[in-house]
Amino acid sequence: MKAELEQLVALQNVDTGIRRLQSDLESIPRRRAEIESEFDQRAFEFKALQQAGETARETRAALDKELAEQRVRLEKAERDLMASNNSKVYEAAIRERDAAKKHIGELETKVLEQMEAAETAEKQLAEREPEFARLRAEHEERLRAFEEQTRSWSAEIEERRRERERRFAELPPGIKATYQRIVGRIRDGVALAEARNGACSACRMTLRPQLMAEIRRGDDIITCDNCNRILYYQPASQQTPQGTTVSAT
Ligand SMILES: [Zn+2]
């Protein structure tokens, strides 16, 4: 029985590792979103400058179109003026010509403003480019490291699952069933608890000295009266490198 308890402890350590890896793998979308949102925040000024430049160029393109229309209007007014043969047509053409000229003047001023705005944005972008390049490189590096970690988690969980299968197959059928039954029933899936300092380390229930002695002997499978976990005793010198099975969850 002692050997079987040891097998169970090893199995439980593997199961705990699998659960931890599973929760790491499940956290991937959230962690990736965090990385992206942090980058968005840090790159905000860069994006604002890009946006400002783009807006200025778009506004300018619209102004240029309007300017071309007003120039056509001006040419027409000038032709009408040349062709006018009475004062009424003449005055109307003068008014139309002046209005077009005024509008053209206003549009030209606006075009200049937009050109300046685009230039300013481009200049600032160029000045800060090394800073932004560093930011982008850092971000790419973080993503790359994250992908690498994800791959290593996936590989590790596969390996642990194979180990789990192998260890589980080695158990006597009766023990397998007991273990699976307890795993299925217990919320955190941890079926074994160390009996330590006269208590169950999972639920803290005190264990009678006589029961402690039986657990220490390890001849039978003894479960905790309170939490139903299989109790085992581990001499201090033989603690598993993974630490205790309960605190590892
Ligand atoms: Zn207990």
Q: Report residue 76: phi and psi, to 5°.
A: -65, -45
Residues 102 and 121 in one domain: yes
pLDDT interval class at 243 (50, 70, 90): very low
Q: Are 207 and 225 found together in one domain? A: yes
From 140, 168, 196, give the residue that closes a domain.
168
If asked whether residues 35 and 53 sit together in one domain, one would say yes
Start-to-end C-alpha separation, the chain: 26
- Residue 216 CA to ligand 1 center (angstroms) comes to 16
| 119 and 197 both lie in a single domain | no
Domain count within the chain: 2
Between the CA of 243 and the centroid of ligand 1 the distance, in Å, is 18
Q: Is 100 exposed, middle or buried (0-12, 13-18, 19+ CB in 10 A)?
A: buried
∠ CA 126-127-130, nearest 5°, is: 85
Could you tell me if 54 and 147 lie in one domain?
yes
pLDDT digit string, tens, across residues 84-134: 999 999 999 999 999 999 999 999 999 999 999 999 999 999 999 999 999
Of the three residues 168, 197, 226, the one that is the final residue of a domain is 168
Instruction: Please check whether residues 130 and 53 belong to one and the same domain.
Output: yes
Residue 61 has pLDDT above 90, yes or no: yes
In a domain, residue 23? The reply is no
Residues 129 and 232 in one domain: no
pLDDT tens track for 181-225: 999 888 888 999 999 999 999 999 999 999 999 999 988 899 999
Query: pTM here?
Result: 0.65
Q: Are residues 63 and 35 in the same domain?
A: yes
Residue 246 binned pLDDT confidence (cut-offs 50, 70, 90):
very low
Confidence of residue 247 (pLDDT cuts 50, 70, 90): very low
Ligand 1 center from residue 194 Cα (angstroms)? 9
204 CA to centre of ligand 1 in angstroms: 6
- Going from the Cα of 202 to the center of ligand 1, the distance in angstroms, rounded, reads 5
Query: Are 37 and 140 in a shared domain?
Result: yes
Residue 245 inside a domain? The answer is: no
pLDDT (mean) for 67-94: 95
Identify whether residues 44 and 151 lie together within a single domain. yes
Q: Mean pLDDT in the chain?
A: 92
For ligand 1, the distance from its centroid to the CA atom of residue 155, given in whole angstroms, is: 34
Domain that holds residue 43: 29-168
Residue 4: inside a domain: no
Q: How many angstroms does the Cα of residue 7 sit away from the middle of ligand 1? A: 20
CATH of the domain at 69: 1.10.287
Pick the last residue of a domain from 149, 168, 187: 168
Using DSSP's 3-state secondary structure scheme, residue 245 falls into coil
Residues above pLDDT 70, as percent of the chain: 94
Q: Does one domain contain both 104 and 150?
A: yes
Does the residue 96 lie in any domain? yes
**Residues 90, 146 within the same domain:** yes
